[in-house]
Chains A and B, each alone.
Chain A
């Protein structure tokens, strides 16, 4: 039997639920931060409505679909983020209003309150560094492995907290370890003279860490998951977490555009992620 489909007037409680996750952000600044642009958006919602590390908001910059913005830093008033040069937001003046939905998604899940994390390993492509920036001081000891094509792409060490240990990986070996980050063992076991491949160091760091957070090309996740599994044997859930960047037009799991395949079926990045357990990407 069908229910009685009676038209109801929405109560004020229902309306407040509907509006609770829409916020009007005020642009405080948009300035070049080579090679990208940095923005700061002040939100009109409660502090709990500020996106945490790995969470996102969907911002309306006039395009047919909203754009996911991830925080690179946040405080009680709003959050900073990074966009590409030429992005519509770079043409806005301070004080401009931006309609945002969120925060949305599942962010990075570090140690529970009262159990501070001691050793955190961050792994990122240089382009994805801002996604992990909120975690630079999330543990007593943090190591950041950053991969770039060449030395010129790497940001200055002065831009990181002094306590952060940097491990550089370059594909051409111009500084730090010789890349790539994953697949090096399969590619060749012998590095050119004077260069050292990163795989041994990476395994040491994974063995050392209490938690691993990754923001890289999703195509590398199966190989990274395999390394984590090999080093840690039976890691606890969310020991290693990976942020997946794909278009997320709706942000609520309605459109199926953002589905990604994992070892236990497809998941919707926008609601089940965008931070997923790295071991979900283990090859079958």
Chain B
């Protein structure tokens, strides 16, 4: 439990201990608990209003948003294989300006900070978005999501643009297979915290099911699938409990070497899983698509962590 409480701090204005996710930032990002949803799984703050008590969370991470509106991907968007899911939505969103018009009041009412997940486009676009978000009440930070193919230079420039043009802490979500490459670099070059990691990319065949499945899932549609011979494939983000050992492997190698707080994300399915991540040095955890199956999971994990964390701090 050596590093368990590294980022827990007592804020003079709060009676409860807070976790500081951006200790290097001028304003910081103090959150009241270590559990938050992962980007792309929780909507924009109000989707789970009837299911999840937000006051138990540390923060709410939004679905990815871009400056310009994006439409949903065509064709099949989800495939189940064993205990894992492959999801490809195309990150549909109404664009940042329209989104802010729609959700500003919701975010103001939330009892925890909102971390807006930005689809990192060009540095200029990211700078524009960061400046816009700096004016929004309730937003506590920005999480930048990168393409797996992003160059080191573009990643650094994008983080710098977000940090320079806005006054919000910047969290970089590192692509799964770029941790060794990007995590130390971005931690040195301006990111206030890192999310390890974005869901890995995966490909699954989707024409193997029976005809009723094929029909229900609209397998004939073009767009997200690639046809090779008679088989079709869905490329997308991989979710599932199977990711958790991979996450622990990454955390065990990196969490204590990086000079910024790390947020663990990938297959966390219980308070014990979350505790393991915190023990390995993560400052907080994100619950990903498992919440779709079990909406109360995020509150269960938060309650499960509450007592040990409080005892550790005191």
Interface residues of A (CB under 8 A from B): 1-8, 10, 14-15, 17-18, 20-22, 60, 63-66, 84, 86, 101, 127, 217-218, 245-247, 249-257, 259, 261, 266
Q: Mark B72-102 against chain A: 1 for CB-CB distance below 8 A, else 0.
A: 1000011010011101010110000000000
Complex Cα–Cα for A181 and B267 (A): 46
Chain B interface category by residue count: 35 or more
B212 engages A64 (CB within 8 Å):
no
Complex CA–CA separation, A61 to B84 (angstroms): 15
Q: Which residue of A lies closest to B216 (CB)?
A: A245
Asked whether any CB of chain A lies closer than 8 Å to the CB of B43, the reply is: yes
> Is A247's CB under 8 angstroms from B14's CB?
no
Instruction: Establish whether residues B16 and A7, one from each chain, have CB atoms under 8 Å apart when the complex forms.
Output: yes
Contacts of B85 in A (CB 8 A): 64-65, 249
Chain A to chain B contacts (Cβ below 8 Å), 11 pairs = A2-B113, A3-B137, A6-B32, A7-B16, A7-B55, A64-B293, A65-B78, A249-B87, A250-B47, A257-B77, A259-B92
- In the complex, chain B residues whose CB is within 8 Å of the CB of A101: 295
| Residues in B neighbouring A14, C-beta threshold 8 A | 53
Chain B residue numbers with a CB within 8 Å of A247 are: 77-78, 216-217
Whether B78 and A254, one on each chain, are in contact in the complex, defined by CB atoms closer than 8 angstroms, is no
Contact at A65–B71, with CB atoms within 8 Å?
Answer: no
B138 interface neighbour in A2, A7, A86, A252, Cβ under 8 Å: A2
User: In the bound complex, how far is the Cα of B87 from the Cα of A249, in angstroms?
Assistant: 10
Closest-CB distance, B299 to chain A (whole angstroms): 7
A252 touches B47 (CB 8 A): yes
Interface contact A261-B51, CB-CB below 8 Å? no
In order of increasing CB-CB distance, the 10 nearest A-B pairs are A254-B43, A254-B47, A259-B72, A8-B55, A250-B292, A256-B89, A7-B32, A10-B53, A249-B292, A252-B47
Minimum CB–CB distance from A35 to chain B (whole Å) comes to 10
**Most chain-A Cβ atoms within 10 A of its Cβ — which of B40, B84, B91, B289?**
B289
With CB as the reference atom, state the residue of chain A lying closest to B82. A64
Would you call B41 an interface residue if the criterion is a C-beta within 8 Å of the partner chain's C-beta atoms?
A: yes
Asked if A66 and B292 sit within 8 Å, CB to CB, the answer is yes
B47 and A253 form a contact (CB under 8 A): yes
A245-B216, A255-B89, A257-B77 known; A18-B52 Cβ under 8 A: yes
B47 touches A5 (CB 8 A): no
In the complex where A17-B50, A21-B51, A66-B292 touch, is A6 in contact with B78 (Cβ < 8 A)? no
* Interface residues in B227-241 (C-beta closer than 8 Å to A): 239-240
Query: Is there contact, CB below 8 Å, between B80 and A256?
Result: no
Nearest chain A CB to B267 CB, angstrom units? 11
- Please, which residues of chain A bring their CB within 8 A of the CB of B137? 1-3
Contact assessment for A66 and B71 in the assembled complex, using a CB-CB cutoff below 8 Å: no
Q: Which residues of A contact B40 (CB under 8 A)?
A: 255-256
- B87 CB contacts on chain A under 8 angstroms: 249, 255, 257
CB within 8 A of B14: which of A6, A20, A250, A254? Answer: A6
How far in angstroms is the closest Cβ of chain A from B36? 12
- Chain A contacts of B175 at CB under 8 A? none
Q: Are B42 and A261 in contact (CB under 8 A)?
A: no
Q: Which residues of B contact A10 (CB under 8 A)?
A: 53, 55-56
Q: How far is the CA of A105 from the CA of B47 in the complex (A)?
A: 13
Residue of B nearest to A20 (CB): B50
Q: Tell me, in angstroms, the Cα distance from A267 to B153 when the chains sit together.
A: 37
- Taking CB atoms, residues of chain B closer than 8 Å to A64 are 80, 83-85, 239-240, 293
Chain B residues with CB under 8 Å of A15's CB are: 53
- Cα distance, A66 to B51, chains bound together (Å): 15
Q: A10 vs B299: C-alpha distance in the bound complex, in angstroms?
A: 10
CA–CA, A65 to B212, complex, Å? 18
Q: What's the least CB distance linking B78 to chain A, in Å?
A: 5
Tell me how far the C-beta of B195 lies from the nearest C-beta in chain A, rounded to whole angstroms. 18
Determine if A127 and B215 form an interchain contact, defined as CB atoms under 8 angstroms apart: yes
| B111 in contact (CB, < 8 A) | yes
A250 to B47, CA, bound (A): 10
Instruction: Name the A residues within 8 Å of B71 (CB-CB).
Output: 261, 266
A5-B32, A249-B289, A259-B92 are contacts. A18–B80 as well, Cβ < 8 Å? no
Contact with A along B30-41 (1 / 0, CB 8 A): 111100000011
B156 at the interface (CB under 8 A from A): no
Is there a chain A Cβ closer than 8 Å to B112's Cβ? yes
Pairwise interchain contact A7-B47, C-beta atoms closer than 8 A: no
Asked if B63 is an interface residue, CB under 8 A from chain A, the answer is yes
Contact present for B212 and A84 (CB under 8 Å) = yes
Apart from A21-B50, A254-B292, A257-B89, list 18 A-B contacts with CB within 8 A. A5-B112, A5-B113, A6-B16, A6-B32, A18-B52, A18-B296, A86-B210, A246-B216, A246-B218, A251-B292, A252-B48, A252-B295, A254-B48, A255-B40, A255-B89, A256-B72, A257-B77, A261-B72
CB-contact partner of B111 in A8, A66, A84, A251, under 8 A: A8
Contacts of B55 in A (CB 8 A): 6-8, 10
Contact A65 B53 (CB under 8 A): no
A142 to B44, CA, bound (A): 42
